[in-house]
Structure 1
């Protein structure tokens, strides 16, 4: 099986600051670095490092070949990443001494998808494959609809969150992934309780409190606790978690084991600086879990 991902690719620009700035405030960064990011790229890297086949459907600008090369070096199939004239997306990431972040995103090429590119890529997908989607690209709903027509399992991370687009995706989603705040906002918009949102499976991440999967299709609720660590940088932790969970499901793990795998991967990721490059490989995650169990 394979995990396809219509996903963003960003240049992440990291600024280490003593604290997050307030309105109108200027702070001096103590450190600066550049790396590969974007919710889509992060999730693809997590899938690949977890040991599943990750096929990324993406767009980069004329200066973005390095990002495609980085994805490939991290184990992702980049055969469906197209280079065009719109600049590569980027994110300015401010990280404070507690590991909390503040992010401003320029979508760039991530909003320049054309339907033929998506159709060409998904023509290679097989029933039972996974499709990952996030809100950092255009044509997300169209891709989800075509994926469902082909029998793919659609996982949608509704972030950055907008109630309208998220609501429009509900008929085509097999797993809807949200954090607690986003789940509350969508619940209010739809007019039902969080655990009654009309989707087959709802995955709610709760930061240090772990995560819960409401499996409405099976009539079960699965929870996982977060592993306690000292965070250095929480940027991309949710992407790492979702990518690892999907890889676990792709490999036939039970929902509980897939959630635990994702929680362990995210715990390791937040102890390192960066986003895609900070995602641990499967051997590291397995060793971490072995240490917990023993």
Structure 2
């Protein structure tokens, strides 16, 4: 099976700071580095490192060739990443000593993906494949509609959160992944409780509290406790969780096992500084032996 990931590709610019910046404040960073990121790229790397086949659908500028090469090095099929005239997307990421972050994103080339591009890629898809996307590219609704029409499992990681963006794709979704704040915002905006959403599987990540899986067909709401670790940087942990979750499902794991795999990968991820470049693989999970 294959995961087709319509996803952003960013240059992540990391700044270690004494505390997260307040409005009007000027603050000196204690360290800086650049890495591969973007929610889409992070998830593609996580899927590849979880031993599933992933085809990335996206765009970079001429300044982003290094990012495409890095994705290829990590095992991602990059043949459907376009090179456009826009600059590659980038993110400015502040990380404090407790591992909390604040992120500013410039979409750049991520906003140039066209429906025709997605349609051409999905001609190679079959009804056992998965279409994954996030709210960091253009043509999200068009891509979801094309994938749904072809019988793919359609999964939306609803971040950065926008209620209107979720509303636009909700009829096409088989799975919706959100954090607790996003879930609360969505319920308030739609005036619908999570169990009443028209999506079969709803996954809500709860940070240090673990996560929930709601199966709206069966009416079940299952809690999964968090794996205790000492975090140093939470950036990319949710993307890592989602990538391993989707890879596990693609490989035929039951939902409970796929969620557990995602939690283990996410727990390792928060003990590392960086994003796509430091996402763990299956051997890391086996070596860590996290409960």
Question: Normalising TM by the smaller chain, what interval?
Answer: over 0.9
Deviations 1:36-57 (A, max 9, x none): 0000000000000000001100
How many equivalent pairs are there? 291
Q: Give the match for residue 49 of structure 1.
A: 49
- Alpha-carbon distance in structure 1 between the residues aligned to 2:272 and 2:4: 26
Q: Give the match for residue 232 of structure 1.
A: 232
Q: Give the match for residue 28 of structure 1.
A: 28
- Flag the 1:286–1:220 CA change in 2: closer, same or farther, 3 A: farther
User: 2:151 matched to 1:120?
Assistant: no
- Measured after TM superposition, the shift of residue 199 of structure 1 is 1.3
Deviations 1:134-162 (A, max 9, x none): 00001101100000111100110111111
**TM-score w.r.t. length of structure 1:** 0.97
Q: Give the match for residue 139 of structure 1.
A: 139
Contact 2:50–2:247 (CA<8 Å) still a contact in 1? Answer: yes
- Alpha-carbon distance in structure 1 between the residues aligned to 2:255 and 2:147: 22
RMSD over aligned Cα, in angstroms?
Answer: 1.0
Deviations 1:216-237 (A, max 9, x none): 1343333222111111110011
Alignment of 1:2-41 (within 5 A): 2-41=2-41
Contact 2:195–2:219 (CA<8 Å) still a contact in 1? Answer: no
- More divergent stretch after superposition (174-183 vs 186-195): 186-195
Alignment of 1:99-110 (within 5 A): 99-110=99-110
Which secondary structure state, in structure 2, belongs to the residue aligned with residue 25 of structure 1? coil
Structure 2: runs of 5+ lacking an equivalent = none
Deviations 1:88-131 (A, max 9, x none): 00000000000000000000000011121111111111111011
- Alpha-carbon distance in structure 2 between the residues aligned to 1:88 and 1:217: 41
Q: Give the match for residue 288 of structure 2.
A: 288
Deviations 1:53-83 (A, max 9, x none): 0110010001110000000011101010111
Q: Give the match for residue 91 of structure 2.
A: 91
- More divergent stretch after superposition (191-200 vs 83-92): 191-200
- Measured after TM superposition, the shift of residue 215 of structure 1 is 1.1
- Alpha-carbon distance in structure 1 between the residues aligned to 2:222 and 2:193: 18
- Measured after TM superposition, the shift of residue 287 of structure 1 is 2.7
Which secondary structure state, in structure 1, belongs to the residue aligned with residue 59 of structure 2? strand
Moved over 4 A (4+): none
